[in-house]
Amino acid sequence: MKYLVIILSLVFVCFSGCDQEDIRKSPDQNDEVFIVGHVGGWLGSRALMLNKGVLLVSKEQAGVEMNAAQIVNDLEWEVLADNEARNRIEALAAEFPADLFTDDRQSTACTVAAVDGQCPFVIKVDTKDAIRVWTWDSPSTTGPSDVYMRGLSQVVYEVLE
């Protein structure tokens, strides 16, 4: 019995001692990290991060103004053990229209935050830790990128309910 307690204690220490930095950015990471959420009124929403097939949710809200580096580096994350939610965020990542969301079209604007509105965002962190961010601040437009961001916004709201 004494050895069982010791073994279980060691297993617990090994798994609970995992640093969050290891989850976010490990050296053998092959895929981009995909983060979605809302910024704006009432401090935005919590963010959702897909990293190596693991879905994480931030413990804090993303904030009123878009600060991608803060979201990536400063928020605390915990695993969201919900297969349906993970599948929905994986689908968003797979459907991400990279031809529409190019580096020269990055955006951090959220003018509706001035009236307590929120803007959905996508953050991608590549294997070299380069952070790219796009917010959506055009609820009256109907182009392909608008359709994607509307869908993303709806999925984020539903997953975080």
Residue pLDDT, tens place only, 104-143: 999 998 888 878 889 999 999 998 899 999 999 876 677 8
Q: What is the rounded CA–CA span in Å between residue 114 and residue 137?
A: 12
| DSSP letters for 44-89 | --EEEEEETTEEEEEEEE--SS--HHHHHHTS-EEE---HHHHHHH
Q: How confident is the model at residue 57 (pLDDT cuts 50, 70, 90)?
A: very high
Residue 141 structure tokens: 């437009």
Which range marks the domain in which residue 136 is found?
A: 2-160
How many distinct structural domains can be found in the chain? 1
pTM to 2 decimal places = 0.78
Q: Mean pLDDT score of the chain, rounded to an integer? A: 84
- Say how many Å lie between the first and final Cα of the chain, rounded: 43
CB-CB contact of 58 with 77 (8 Å):
yes
Give percent above pLDDT 70 in the chain: 80
pLDDT tens-place string over residues 61-96:
999 889 999 999 999 999 999 999 999 999 999 999
pLDDT at 143: 85
> pLDDT higher for 126 or 41?
126
